[in-house]
């Protein structure tokens, strides 16, 4: 059977002059059985539509902060770098994918963008916008090591994939999902209440994960690889 073609969204330098992504993101797709294609941050809806029609799955990766204007807020002091070309492209292609019912996997910023694209919103900076004390979500250890636990709801796609109700994950984010669209549900949470995964109630596979499974492929006994394998499996089913 033909391997599914998986579009990978990529970062841009702050001056928007270069596209780039990590080797880990590429290898995660390759090892799970997909053919990765790095996506340029195109501008027009029609170009993006033609691109999304050629792909079997979309993998939105981590990166810079998301412009809060996209969910109706002005920037607070602790907002980091935002990259308008990437924001625009990702928002557009995620909406197209969801309307086609094609499989989507988002990690870190990719999950946050999924939430914004479906009408949810974010904490621009969890530490300055939360009343209570939070865990350290920007770990100072290498990302191949876990940092905090995530509790996974049993009635979820994520639980079906992982087969456990509690796992240790890495953490490198200062933004997070706040309100979720009605058509989505929270399937994973940290012990401080921070949302660590969301998924669609109506799509077969539209999953967002706040941690970086691509950085744990060698260090968590295959749990992270399972996420990519199930994603690729969904892409195969959809492509045929």
Pairwise CA distance, residues 52 & 192, whole Å: 37
In terms of C-beta density within 10 A (0-12 exposed, 13-18 middle, 19 or more buried), how is residue 20 classed?
exposed
Among all residues, whose Cβ is closest to Mn ion? 171
Does the protein bind Mn ion through residue 171 (CB under 5 A)?
A: yes
End-to-end Cα distance, the chain: 9
Q: Which is closer to Mn ion, CB of 143 or CB of 232?
A: 143
- Does position 212 interact with Mn ion (CB under 5 A)? The reply is no
Of 4-12, 63-71, 165-173, 219-227: span binding Mn ion (CB under 5 A)? 165-173
What's the half-sphere exposure (Cβ side, CA atoms, 13 Å) at 93? 34
CB of 67 to Mn ion, least distance (A): 21
Count of residues near Mn ion by CB under 5 A? 2
Q: Considering the complex, state which of residue 143 and residue 235 has its C-beta at the smaller distance from Mn ion.
A: 143
CB of 3 to Mn ion, least distance (A): 32
Of 106-145, binders to Mn ion (CB under 5 A) are: 137
Catalytic site includes residue 212: yes
Write b or e for each residue in 30-64: b if 16 or more Cβ atoms lie within 10 A of its Cβ, otherwise e. Answer: bebbbebeebebbeeeeebeebbeebbbbbbbbbb
- Cα–Cα dist 39/11, whole Å: 10
Among positions 73-102, residues that touch Mn ion (CB under 5 A) are none
Which parts of this chain interact with Mn ion (CB under 5 A)?
137, 171
Residues with catalytic roles: 108, 212, 214
């Amino acid at each position: 059977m033909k391997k599914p073609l998986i579009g990978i969204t990529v970062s841009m330098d702050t001056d928007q002059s270069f596209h780039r992504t990590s080797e880990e993101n590429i290898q995660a797709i390759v090892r799970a059985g997909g053919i990765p294609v790095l996506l340029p941050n195109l501008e027009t809806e029609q170009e993006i539509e033609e691109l999304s029609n050629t792909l079997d799955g979309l993998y939105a990766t981590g990166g810079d902060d998301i412009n809060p204007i996209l969910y109706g807020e002005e920037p607070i002091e602790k907002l980091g770098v935002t990259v308008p070309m990437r924001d625009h492209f990702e928002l557009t292609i995620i909406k197209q994918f969801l309307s086609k019912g094609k499989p989507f996997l988002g990690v870190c910023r990719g999950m946050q963008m999924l939430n914004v694209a479906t009408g949810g919103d974010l904490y621009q900076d969890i530490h300055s916008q939360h009343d209570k004390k939070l865990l350290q979500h920007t770990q100072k250890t290498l990302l191949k090591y876990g940092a905090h636990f995530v509790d996974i709801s049993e009635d979820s796609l994520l639980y079906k994939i992982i087969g456990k109700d509690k796992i240790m994950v890495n953490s490198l984010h200062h933004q997070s999902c706040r309100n979720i669209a009605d058509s989505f549900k929270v399937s994973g949470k940290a012990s401080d209440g921070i949302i660590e995964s969301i998924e669609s109630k109506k799509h077969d596979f539209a999953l967002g994960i706040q941690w970086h499974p691509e950085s744990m492929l060698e260090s968590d006994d295959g749990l992270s690889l399972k996420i990519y394998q199930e994603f690729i499996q969904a892409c195969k089913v959809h492509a045929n």
